[in-house]
Amino acid sequence: MKKKWNIPPGMKDVLPGEARKRRRLVNELMDTFASYGYEEVGTSSLEFYDVVERDGMDAAEVFKLIDREGQILALRPDVTTPIARMVASRLRDRRLPFRLSYTGSTFRYETVQVGRQREFTQVGVELIGSDDLMADLEVLLLAIESVERTGIKEFKIGIGEINITQGFLNEMLVDEELVEEARELVISKNFVGLEALLLEHADAEKAQIFLKLVRKNGGAEILEEIEGYSEGIEYQAAMAGLKELAKVVREYGYEDRIFFDFSILRSFSYYTGIVFEGYAEGIGHPICGGGRYDGLLGMFGFEAPAVGFAMGVERVMIARNVKDDPEKKDVLILGDDYTQIVKKARELRAEGKRVEIDLTSADLAEAAAYMEEKGIERLFVMENDNDGE
């Protein structure tokens, strides 16, 4: 039997048409980021594992390899952590804040599903050096505008707050392992398991309040309802921030795009404030996500507050479901004289035409068939010294 050349599970070839569509989407998003003053940076696909480890992701989800010195390397599972590492080591002397944008492949050892592959493209921004609410707002509004730019119509951004949800858990459960267990149950929306755990380990009254909190989901009006759930200083400060944020979002005209959901925690452990995720019809996983992460840069020796978000390009492509748009070419040049052909091609390209030189056609009929298949509009036949169309 003939050998089949498969690729590893969760990896993907991108063919013409789709590749172009993807490139255009990425460019559109990067241009949107640039209009807010974000400058593109790049980090390498491979990092030392002890850098990647700081994001708190399950070690089993990270692709690792060992170099010849025996050091463990990892394919980056996100770009935020490498950027934090880069900023802390390479950009720390420059004037804050930094507005950085990126696009690139990221890798996670996931159970493969539609919209959840092991290599996926992210585009995103990091706003580093400000803990002002304005920074949270900028990133959130940019996220909403970015999703709109992709052409997805039906989408919503769910907003949570680590200081509210995690803060409540920390206070109620104290024990770190229990907090982590409860956190996982909140993330996976296992309300049944969560209730069982809290009833066993937490104060019954507080447990009921917390269950109400994580089940709440809705517009700015729910902020009023949950305001009195805790007297804690951090809780109240976070609440004040969210109310201000909700007010600006409403006045900006994006009220219908957001909702609050205090079960949103995100799986990365580096978040410290507002967190958000975007959901679109037709795809089972968030199309974008982000939030505030004030402690991450500090792990690399440079204390700086930061907020950012990333969008999953493949997921956006599934959600917006735009059909392939194959590359159009303008002219096919046919002829025998190589010098004449390349000169003519240069001339036409200088006029902005997309020009392809014929390599296979024996006659005009064959050329016509080729043009039909490839979507080329015009034929240019170079005949000995007197050219014509």
Which residues in 292-311 contact other proteins (CB under 8 A)? Answer: none
Provide the 3-class DSSP secondary structure of residue 179.
helix
Size of the chain, expressed as the number of residues it contains: 389
Pairwise CA distance, residues 365 & 91, whole Å:
61
Where does this chain touch other proteins (CB under 8 A) — which range of 92-100, 124-132, 241-249, 279-287? 279-287
- Binder to other proteins among 35, 71, 89, 190 (CB under 8 A)? 190
Give the number of other Cβ atoms within 10 Å of residue 282's Cβ: 13
With the CA atoms of 143, 144, 149 and 153 taken in that order, what torsion angle do they form, in degrees rounded to the nearest 10? Answer: 140
DSSP state of 17: T
Strand-pairing partners, residue 130, are none
Where does this chain touch other proteins (CB under 8 A) — which range of 23-31, 63-71, 77-85, 281-289? 281-289
Closer residue to other proteins (CB): 129 or 160: 160
250 by Cβ neighbours in 10 Å (0-12 / 13-18 / 19+) ranks as: middle
275 contact partners, CB below 8 Å, separation of at least 6: 159, 160, 161, 162, 264, 265, 266, 289, 290, 291, 292
Closer residue to other proteins (CB): 129 or 312: 312
35 touches other proteins by CB under 8 A: no
- Binder to other proteins among 38, 63, 259, 380 (CB under 8 A)? 259
283 touches other proteins by CB under 8 A: yes
Where does this chain touch other proteins (CB under 8 A) — which range of 16-24, 60-68, 150-158, 354-362? 150-158
Binding mask 205-224 for other proteins (x = CB under 8 A): ----------x-xx------
Closer residue to other proteins (CB): 9 or 218: 218
User: Binders of other proteins: how many residues, by CB under 8 A?
Assistant: 23
Ramachandran sector of residue 326 (left: φ over 0; alpha: ψ -120 to 50; beta: rest): beta
Phi–psi pair at 89, nearest 5 degrees = -100, -25
167 touches other proteins by CB under 8 A: no
Closest distance of CB 283 from other proteins, Å: 7
Closest distance of CB 264 from other proteins, Å: 10
191 touches other proteins by CB under 8 A: yes
Do 257 and 156 contact (CB within 8 A), yes or no? Answer: yes
281 touches other proteins by CB under 8 A: yes
Q: Which residues of this chain interact with other proteins, rule CB under 8 A?
A: 113, 154, 156, 158, 188-193, 195, 215, 217-218, 259, 261, 279-285
